[in-house]
């Protein structure tokens, strides 16, 4: 292995290289990806904020860099960006906490 760490910001620039090993699929992916982020029923700024939130959920450092830049380019500000991350964090927290109902159900079955 040539590197001693897993994530290198320079690797983001090589994303397009994935087509070298499977071009038809990569072409379809990049074409679809570009279509997804075009202004539509949602604005480019709203899509960038969603992407930023998802990037934090999937904990992808490349995506976080890319969509921090993307959000700023599309005119989002720090407050909007942090709120988007809180939305992601709230869903993550909620998805854990909602399972506590199972814990409570089971505990009620077991306990006196």
Partner 1 sequence: MSIHQRTKSLAARHSALSNTFFQLEVLNGKALSDVRFPAFSDAIRQAGFPDGRLKPTRIQIFQVNVGKLCNQTCAHCHVDAGPDRKAENMSRENFERCLDILRRYDIPTVDITGGAPEMNPHFRWFVEECRKIGKHVLVRCNLTIIVSNHKYRDLPQFFAEHRVEVVSSLPHYNARRTDSQRGDGVFDDSIEALHLLNAAGYGKVDTGLIINLVYNPTGTFLPGNQASLENEFKRQLKRQHAIEFNQLYALTNMPISRFLDYLLQHGQYENYMQSLLDAFNPGAVAGVMCRNTISVSWDGYLYDCDFNQMLNLKVTGAGTHLADFDLHVLENRDIVLNQHCFGCTAGAGSSCGGQVV
d(CA 57, CA 53): 6
- Indicate whether 78 belongs to the interface with partner 1 (CB under 8 A): yes
Nearest distance, CB of residue 45 and partner 1, angstroms: 6
Among 79, 103, 111, 112, binds partner 1 (CB under 8 A): 79
Dmax (CA) for the chain in angstroms is 63
- Indicate whether 11 belongs to the interface with partner 1 (CB under 8 A): no
- Indicate whether 77 belongs to the interface with partner 1 (CB under 8 A): yes
d(CA 30, CA 68): 20
- Indicate whether 37 belongs to the interface with partner 1 (CB under 8 A): no
Which stretch in 27-35, 58-66, 68-76, 96-104 sits in contact with partner 1 by CB under 8 A?
68-76
| Alpha carbon separation from 104 to 68, 70, 89, 91, 112 (Å, rounded) | 39, 43, 23, 20, 13
- Indicate whether 83 belongs to the interface with partner 1 (CB under 8 A): no
């Amino acid at each position: 292995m040539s590197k001693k760490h897993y994530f290198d910001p320079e690797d983001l620039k090589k994303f397009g290289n994935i087509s070298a090993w499977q071009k038809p699929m990569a072409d379809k992916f990049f074409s679809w990806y570009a279509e997804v982020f075009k202004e539509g029923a949602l604005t480019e700024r709203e899509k960038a904020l969603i992407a930023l939130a998802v990037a934090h959920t999937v904990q992808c450092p490349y995506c976080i860099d890319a969509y921090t830049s993307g959000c700023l380019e599309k005119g989002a500000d720090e407050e909007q960006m942090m709120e988007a991350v809180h939305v992601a964090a709230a869903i993550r927290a909620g998805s854990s906490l909602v399972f506590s109902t199972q814990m409570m159900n089971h505990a009620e079955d077991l306990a006196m």
